[in-house]
Amino acid sequence: MLDTNSFLEREKISTLMIRYSVPLIVSLLVAALYNIVDQIFIANASYLGSNGNAANNVVFPMTVIALAFTLMIGDGVCAFVSMSLGARNPKQAGDSVGSAALLSSSVGIVIALVYWVFREELVTIFGGRVNDETFRLAVEYFSWIIPGIPFYVFGQAMNPVISADGSPNYVMFSTLMGAGINIVLDPVFIFGFHWGMTGAAVATIMGQIFTAFMSFRYIAFKMKAVEFSRNNLHFHPALMKRYLPLGMCSFLSQIALVISVASVNMMIHKYGALDPIFGKPEYSQIPMAVIGIVMKFFQIVISVVVGLSASCTPIAGYNVGAGRPDRVKSLFTLLLKCEAVLGLIAFVIVEIFPADIALLFGASGESVYYADFTVKCFRTYLCLIVLACVNKAAFIFIQAMGRPYISAWLSIIREVIFGAGLTIIMPMFMGLDGVLWSMPASDALTFVISVCVIVMIYRELSAQSQN
């Protein structure tokens, strides 16, 4: 078969990044909008308000857990496919795609079954007991989200594969249309039919089903660079052992994020109850709702960060396979510069416009304490967002180079050791403020380690270029 991806070894690095990053960024932003749009409409529904907002935040980590398995499969096989194509082995690439398609389908079903059996327990673990109304709404929303999990896992796992096959625009279109369905149906179901949290969840599921169908359509009938047929549809354990470790960083980073979010939610619940304002029943849900808003904005920024970084995966993987460390080094340099600029833009927004962002999430219909805490939370929690962007970019790129274990350890250090650890320790001395300051403290400490690893990678690539 003709090597249709050989341009990854020849074309200008900046051109390749633009070509791959724009569709991926749009796709990830649109995927992020599924949960964010739900929260915006929920927050602006008078009969849901901040209780619905808090409930949405409680369920959010469960979607991240599903995403963790999705990315382990999708990002891992994407990197492996790119390396296989770079090594001129399209048959191996096809077998890995067939294995990933079956694996993602199976994993999605298993996750949905586990979620259904333990849905109330999971809502409790992630802070849903802040008050009775928040718990009721969270269980309602989660119960309707669960049937869409298998479609979500399959669709999102196949998107990186489709990009690696040379069709990032297809990914952008299918994801955009799926989110568009969600955006159109949300107000119809929430405001028109008055379905509340159920309506938000059903709108989300319908969008996910569309995206999954489009992914299936491409994998089954439109593959180009990868040799793929029904004969490839086997689990191929030997290949799974090779491509799953390449997605381990993505998996661990998401699981670590869940641990971090769970720690934040628990500490918000605990120390919010001790606060003179938020300890009152009528305001008890505010910290949980607000931290959810801040995390949703951060998710938008990180979607762009991950889109830029993930766009480098097929480029870096192909050039690693083709023995071009000089191009890998140039790509890494350009990526770090772009992520730093993105972080600066995000920093300006969170420091100058936090009140305007809060208005999108129903602040006008809430108490003054809601608006004031939102501004404080944005300006404190995200004050070192520049370092967060650079850290995340470094983790993903190192994984794309075939160094999943280094990348995985960096993610664990950031999210578990620093993220969860400082979230638990700092409130002991600073109360509710300690939860807010734990994020920038974690990013600063992680950045020191990231710089050391980045320097090591640069030296290795320089040495390989000279050989």
Mean pLDDT score across all residues of the chain: 88
Kindly report whether the global pTM for this prediction surpasses the value 0.75: yes
pLDDT at 208 over 80: yes
Average pLDDT for 172-190: 90
The proportion of the chain whose per-residue pLDDT surpasses 70, expressed as a percent, equals 97
Neighbours of 224 (CB within 10 A): 15
pLDDT band (50, 70, 90) for residue 1: very low
Average pLDDT for 82-86: 80
Is residue 400 packed enough to be buried (19+ CB in 10 Å), middle (13-18) or exposed (0-12)? buried
Domain ranges of the chain: 14-466
* Greatest pairwise CA separation for the chain in angstroms: 69
pLDDT at 427 over 80: yes
395 in the Ramachandran plot: left (φ > 0), alpha (ψ -120 to 50) or beta?
alpha
Instruction: Enumerate residues 6+ apart whose C-beta is below 8 A from 48.
Output: 42, 137, 190, 196, 197
pLDDT at 65 over 50: yes
DSSP 10: T
Angstrom distance (rounded) from CA 137 to CA 196: 9
Backbone angles phi, psi at 220, to 5 degrees: -80, -35
Angle subtended by helix axes 248-272 and 286-321, to nearest 10: 170
At position 311, the amino acid (one-letter code) is: S
The proportion of the chain whose per-residue pLDDT surpasses 90, expressed as a percent, equals 42
Average pLDDT for 24-37: 75
Angstrom distance (rounded) from CA 203 to CA 186: 6
Angstrom distance (rounded) from CA 267 to CA 265: 6
At position 278, the amino acid (one-letter code) is: F
Backbone angles phi, psi at 67, to 5 degrees: -65, -30
pLDDT at 431 over 80: yes
Instruction: Enumerate residues 6+ apart whose C-beta is below 8 A from 326.
Output: 461, 465
Six-digit token string for 404: 């999943």
Angle at 420 between CA 417 and CA 422, to 5 degrees: 80
Contact yes or no for 292/56 (Cβ under 8 A) = yes
- pLDDT for 288-318, tens place per residue? 888 988 988 888 898 889 888 888 878 887 8
Contact yes or no for 65/381 (Cβ under 8 A) = no
Neighbours of 97 (CB within 10 A): 29
pLDDT band (50, 70, 90) for residue 2: very low
Helices (H) then strands (E): counts for the chain: 19, 0
